[in-house]
Structure formats: C-alpha cells, structure tokens
Amino acid sequence: MLTITQISDDMNLLTDWEDKYSYIIDLGRDLPSMPEADKTHTTKVQGCTSQVWLTHAQEGEGHTFKTDSDALIVKGLLALLLALYNGKTSAEIAATSATETLKTLGLSEHISPNRRNGFAAVEGKIKAYAAQN
C-alpha cells in the first residue's frame, strides 16, 4: 500500500485532471477487495452514493481499516483514506483532516458534491472508531 506522501508525490507529477482521475482509478483497482462476508449492514457506510463498506481493527495503539466499494473512483478515494489513516494512533487520526488532504492534492474541486459527502462520511466513521479507543 502506498503512503499518502507517495500518492501526493505522484499526483504532483500529473498536471492534467484526467491523468489525476485515472491515477485515482488505478489506486482503486489496486485496493484489495474486501471478503464478501465482511460486506454487511453493520460495515456499510451510510451517506455514500455508491456502496461502501468499512471495517476496523486495533492492535496496540495503531488502527487498521479495510474498505471496499462498488465504484472504482470511490475505491480510489478510499485508498487515499487508508493511506492517510492506517497504522495511525487515535490522536493522529483526530488531528488529521482528509478534507484538507483532498484540497492539497487538488482533488476537492473536481470531485462531485455527492462523492465529497461520501468521502466525509467514511472519514467520520474512521474518526468515530478511533475516538472509541
């Protein structure tokens, strides 16, 4: 899995929005699919136009998230979230803004409001999991 720094470096090399869009789709293609058994009503994230599932585990101080979607562009955006939050502590997760990362990467103005809302819903669920521990 790529780190958010690697993704940012790659995105900075791309000047055309269509190239960035293709890159995000490629991130989605590379994201491993979640086992069907993990795609339940409990793991489904509400507030997303596409179907999105999120699971959480914690080992020591670090949190690990797995996610999946039925849409490749959404899977790519989910890969960004995983790169941003996987392995982080609760305090690090609380202090990190995925929305700001979208802006920094130059993606927020190119993603539809529905996708941004779904992205925020997944981020909110990640932060809620982290806040419980």
What amino acid positions are annotated as catalytic residues?
48
Q: 8: how many CB neighbours lie within 10 A of its CB?
A: 15
Q: Contact at 8 Å (CB) between 63 and 84?
A: no
Q: Is 89 exposed, middle or buried (0-12, 13-18, 19+ CB in 10 A)?
A: middle
The DSSP line for 1-23 is: ---HHHHHHHHHH--SHHHHHHH
Q: Contact at 8 Å (CB) between 53 and 44?
A: yes
Ranges of beta strands (E only) in the chain are 52-59, 62-69
